[in-house]
Amino acid sequence: MSAFSLERVSPRRRRADRLARGAVAALTLVALVPLALVVWYLLEQGLGALSVDFFTTDPSGSFLGDPGGIKSAIVGTVLMVALAAAIAVPVGVGVAIWLVELGRAGKLAQAVRYFVDVMTGVPSIVFGLFVYITLVTTGFGGSSFAGWKGSVALALLMLPVVTRSAEVVLLLVPDTLREASYALGAPRWRTIVRVVLPAALPGIVTGVLLAIARAAGETAPLLFTAAVVNATTVDLGDRMNSLPALIFQNVAQPQDRLVAIAWGAALTLVAMILILTLLARLIQRRSRLS
Amino acid sequence: MSDDVTNPAPTALDPARPLPAPPLPAVADRQAAAPGAAPGAPAAEPRDAVGRTAPAIRLERLNAWYGAMHSVRDLSLTFAANEATALIGPSGSGKSTVVRCINRMHEEIPGARASGSVTLEGADVYDPGVDVVAVRRSIGMVFQKPNPFPTMSIFDNVAAGLKLTARKVEHDQVERALRGAGLWDEVKDRLAQPGIGLSGGQQQRLCIARALAVEPDVLLMDEPASALDPISTLKIEQLVEELKRSITIVIVTHNMQQAARVADSTAFMLDGELVEHGPTAKVFTNPDDSRTEEYVTGKFG
């Protein structure tokens, strides 16, 4: 027996530890329940609606007869989100580059950062209203409702998300790389294009994909910018259908077959967003930063 | 390790440049033969012949500030051509700042400014008409921590200096730079692999190759071996010996044995001021200033 002894853990501390572990585990479970239920319901209600015809025909608009499929909504969502990304990504990444590489801690940069944060908090329906008033009611471009106007509303929604995520990633690029480039005699713009952006690219792509995923699920900005139609169109100057808007319209109908269409469309939308998110994860994993 | 440290293959910076014939006693052998040589008495051997005349660097009344902090005070100093000059001194004494003022990297830091003059054989580095890009092309720099570009292959890392300044890249140039940095034999079969896959010491030599590829006249080394193991450090030091045949080298170091091993002359800085500058042997064995003596004998710092 040595003269040296270490104190044992007191029963009170053991109890407190067990209690705290239990509480945290229970809360996690509570958070998981609705998530699991949503997925369960989606699968249960949505799987039945899926068929080849479901993806290859347009909604028929018929209340009593065959309701048709959701082709126009898929095409519309893909096209409008693609255009929105084409607008928001260059602008957002450009703002982020300016903030990190040029504006830095200046007054203007701080103001821009603040406004971007405010923009993140603006409800999506406000962007829809803004586009409705400025572009739709004025008949801008010779039409009232149009797919590209929906894209503008979605782009406004994506812009702060893209900007902020790109900014964070650009800040992660070590200054030692910029220094190495400057010390080789590289001008600033070439350092940004050849050294900083390639290092940040996986992170920027992840942010962009998450912004796209968010925009793809938005209903409010599209309801009074692109409207809801049945026929498929690839003309962004026309009224355009979209998955969230189609779900919104069909789910409220007093007709089971239309509600089933809404569930099927919801499952399709979730699957599309899931694929995008998985893609974002994969790209993130390849990143050498963070 | 694939390479034999005790008998490394002699490397030449530039096979195309006229090297003295017959080849001088290999510097590397001398270094390896006397690893335990007492620091303080290194510069007794005859100097290697000069393969190319590089410019001397002349600092006159150099002052540098970070915001309100006056970190280099009225420093006048000449770094002799085709020599390695060591800058020693405790942390915060302004060594790195001096080096960064030479290739105008100091001005990249927000709030930093400098006054005084820096000239390369009479050419004013701070002349308003001079392109900062040209300055940095002729004055290469190696940093404390190896910083290869993470998205580029070994080849592209070496070629980066040329590509980033919009010049064409020949395979020869990359090979020559890698040979100059003593890395060619280790990487010649995997030039397409990422530069960050190399070991720390190899990464640092990759960074040296990257700096050499643009064929600078001066190489600034800011504690190039402080993050490396002793074997990698030895290789970097052997490189310095090779390189000064064709370029002027300024090396900042905290390691006094290193200064004693590689530098022809040594400058001691304290609190932003130059205390003493002279031949390395003299600075280490018989300094004029008592503060230098205290520092080199380890009484402070």
Which pLDDT belongs to residue A139? 85
Asked if the bond preceding B287 is cis, omega within 30° of 0, the reply is no
CB contact B140 to A (< 8 Å): yes
Tell me the sheet residues that pair with B140.
B219
**Residue B37 is assigned to a structural domain of this protein:** no
Residue B157: pLDDT above 80?
A: yes
Which pLDDT belongs to residue B50? 64
Strands B112-120 and B265-270 turn out to be: unpaired
* Separation of alpha carbons A246 and A265, rounded Å: 8
Mean pLDDT score of chain B:
82
- Compare CB distances from B164 to A174, A194, A289 and report the shortest one's residue: A194
Q: Do B164 and A288 touch (CB under 8 A)?
A: no
Residue B27: pLDDT above 80?
A: no
Strands B123-124 and B112-120 turn out to be: antiparallel
Q: Which residues in chain B are contacts of A201 at CB distance < 8 A?
A: 151
**Residue B41 is assigned to a structural domain of this protein:** no
Tens place of pLDDT per residue across chain A (290 aa) = 567 888 888 899 999 999 999 999 999 999 999 999 999 999 999 998 888 989 998 888 888 888 888 999 999 999 999 999 999 999 999 999 999 988 888 899 999 999 999 999 999 999 999 999 999 999 888 888 999 999 999 999 999 999 999 999 999 999 999 999 999 988 889 999 999 999 999 889 989 998 999 899 898 899 889 888 888 888 888 899 999 999 999 988 888 889 999 999 999 999 999 998 888 888 877 765 54
Mutating which of A184, A201, A205, A288 best tests the B interface, going by the most B Cβ atoms within 10 A?
A184
H or E element at residue B222: strand B218-222
Our CA dihedral for A107, A112, A117, A118, rounded to 10 degrees, sits at 100
**Residue B180 is assigned to a structural domain of this protein:** yes
Which pLDDT belongs to residue B207? 94
**Residue B4 is assigned to a structural domain of this protein:** no
Note whether A173 and A200 are within 8 A (CB): yes
User: CA A200, A206, A208, A211 torsion: positive or negative?
Assistant: negative
Mutating which of B107, B108, B138, B151 best tests the A interface, going by the most A Cβ atoms within 10 A?
B151
- The string of pLDDT tens digits covering residues B164-195 is 887 888 898 999 999 888 899 999 999 999 99
Our CA dihedral for B68, B71, B76, B79, rounded to 10 degrees, sits at -140
Q: Identify residue B198 by its one-letter amino acid code.
A: L
Q: Do A288 and B145 touch (CB under 8 A)?
A: no
DSSP-assigned letter for residue B289: S
What number is the ipTM of this complex?
0.78
Which pLDDT belongs to residue A99? 94
Residue B224: pLDDT above 60?
A: yes
Which pLDDT belongs to residue B9? 43
Which pLDDT belongs to residue A106? 85
Residue B18: pLDDT above 60?
A: no
User: CA neighbours within 13 Å on the CB side: how many for B261?
Assistant: 26
* Residue A104 Cα, gap to closest chain B Cα (Å): 9
Query: pLDDT higher for B214 or B40?
Result: B214
Q: Which residues in chain B are contacts of A180 at CB distance < 8 A?
A: 143, 147-149, 207, 210
* Residue B287 Cα, gap to closest chain A Cα (Å): 34
The number of distinct structural domains making up chain B is 1
CATH number at residue B153: 3.40.50.300
CB contact B143 to A (< 8 Å): yes
- Residue of B173, B89, B100 lying closest to B136 (CA atoms): B100
Which pLDDT belongs to residue A288? 55
Q: Which residues in chain B are contacts of A195 at CB distance < 8 A?
A: 149, 151, 160, 164
Which pLDDT belongs to residue B169? 85
Confidence of residue B297 (pLDDT cuts 50, 70, 90): confident
Q: Identify residue A28 by its one-letter amino acid code.
A: T
| Sequence-distant (≥ 6) Cβ neighbours of residue A136 within 8 angstroms | A144, A145, A146, A149, A224, A225
Q: Which residues in chain A are contacts of B141 at CB distance < 8 A?
A: 183
**Residue B227 is assigned to a structural domain of this protein:** yes
Which pLDDT belongs to residue A177? 93
Q: Which residues in chain A are contacts of B136 at CB distance < 8 A?
A: 182-185
**Residue B279 is assigned to a structural domain of this protein:** yes
**Residue B243 is assigned to a structural domain of this protein:** yes
Which pLDDT belongs to residue A34? 94
Structural domain harbouring B134: 54-296
Q: What is the pTM (predicted TM-score) of this model?
A: 0.78
| Edge-to-edge strand ranges of the sheet holding B69-79 | B69-79, B57-66, B112-120, B123-124
Which pLDDT belongs to residue B301? 63
Q: Do A105 and B110 touch (CB under 8 A)?
A: yes
Q: What are phi and psi of B275, to 5 degrees?
A: -90, -45
**Residue B22 is assigned to a structural domain of this protein:** no
* Lowest mean pLDDT across A255-269, B82-96, B287-301: B287-301
